[in-house]
Chain A
C-alpha cells in the first residue's frame, strides 16, 4: 500500500473528468480516469484503488451497474464508492445505496467538500 490515496474517477464527460482530476491531484491524490462503467471495470481488474468516484448516467454500463459489479466481485468489494451526480432524488439515492454505494455527492461539486468527502471515506 502506498501512502498516497488512489482514486478512480468514472465519468463519461471529459470535462468533468478533467475537473475532478484537477481538483483531486492538486490535493495530493493519485487519480486515474475511466469514461464509463465498462472501462472502469477493465481498469479495476489490473489496478489497486482506495476510493472510486462514479457518475450515474453513462453509456454502456452506468454507475449503478458498476457499483453492483464491484460489490459482486472480490478484489475491490470493500472499497468506498462515492456517487457523483446531478441527480438527487431519494429514489435514486436508495437505488445507489441498494447497489452498494458508500456516499453521495451532488454536482456541481465544491473542491473542498469533495476532498473532505474522499478523506472521510478513505480508511
Chain B
C-alpha cells in the first residue's frame, strides 16, 4: 500500500470531489461529508503510518517512487522519516480539526472554502513528504494557491492588498529557490554524472564550498521569507490579521513549519558547508527575531497581532535550534515545531472565541471575562502557560532541549535567547489578564464562554499538550536516528568534536558516483569567480 502517496492524494481527491457537489443547501451537507471523509481519512492513514513507523531507521521509510521523466531526473518520490513524520501528523491533525470547525459553522461559499482547505492540506502533506527537489518546489508553490484564495475570498477588510503582498513576496523567495534547485541538479550532474533531483542522492554530493554557499543562500532566502525569519516577516502581520481566523491558525500552526523544514531537510544535509557559513548569521537573526517579536507582541494593540508576533519569536527559537548543528537542539526544534503548532492553533482558537464578544479584536476593549466564563478562563490559562513555556509545559520541553543544545555550541546565543522567555511571560500575561481579569470593560462573558464546538477543537489540543508535557520521549525518540543523520554533514563541516557526531557521513562523494578513470575530472576551483566569502 502506497501509504504516503495516499496521505498526499486523499485530501487532493477530497478537494476535487467538491466539484461534484451541487450548490445550494443540500450541497452543504454533501460538502461536509466529503470534507470530513477526506480529512478524517487522512488522519486515520496518518495514525497507521505513525503506528508502523520504524524508529530505528534513519533514512526515508515508506518510499513511493515512480519515475516520471527519467532523462530529466523527474520523479514522484515521497516518503517519511523521523523528522517529517511529526510534521505530517501535525498537518493531518490540524486540518482535521480545522475542517471539523469549518463544517460546524460553514462560511459563505462552503464548497469552495472546504475545497481550498483540502488543497492546502494536500500541498503541505506533499511538501513534508517530498523526497525530491522538484516535487518539493511544486508543493511549495502549490500550497500558496489555496492560501491565496482563502485569504483573498474570505478574509477581512483590506485583504486584497495583503494577499498580493503575501503571495508576491513569498514568490520572490521561491523563484530564487527554483534557480537554486536547477543549479543544484546541474552542478551535481557535473560532479557525479547523474542528473537527479532526489534529495537522498544529492546529500552525498561534494559541492565545493562556494557552490554550497551560493546555492544554500538561494534556498535560505526562500525559507527565511516563508518562516518568516526576522527581518523578512513583512507579510506576516497583515496576512495573519486579515485571513479568516481559522486560516490564520493554519498559517501559524502548519505553514510556518515549511521554512524550518526546508532548512532541516535540504539546507543542512545537502549544503553543509553553506549552512555552516550562514549558521551564525541566521542564529543572530533568530535571536533578534525573538527579542523583536516579543517586544512587538508586548505593545501590540490587537489580540491577533499579539499572537502573530509571539509566533515570530517562537519560530526564532526553532530556527536557532536548527542552525546550532546539535542533535539535541535539533530534536528540540522538531519537538517545538509540533508544540508551537498545537499551542498557536489553540491560541488563535481562543482569540476566535473572544472575538465573538469583541469583534474589533482590541486588547484594551475587553476585560473581566473570567467572571462569566470560567471554562474559557481555565482553558485560556493552560494555553497561555504553554505559550509562555512555563516549566512543566510541552513548550518548555522543546525550548529546554533547543537551548541546552544551542548553549553547548554557542553559549552566548542561548543566553541572549533566554531574554525572550521573560518577554513571553510579559506579553502572554498581558493578553490573558486584560481579557480575563480586572474589572469588566465591555464584552459579554456569556458570549465568550466555551461552547461544545469550541471545546471540540480545544480539548484535543490541550490533551496533546499534556501528553507531550508528560512524555516528550514519544515524539523525540522517533526523531533520533533521522536527526543524527540529517545533522551529521553540517557537524562535519563545522568541525564539531567527534563525540557529538552521532551518524557516519556517507561516502563523500558516493563511490558509484565517482567519475570513472579517464573521465574528465571537473576542475572545481579554477572556473569559479572569486566570490567574497562571508
Partners in one complex: no
Spell out B's residues near A (CB within 8 Å).
none
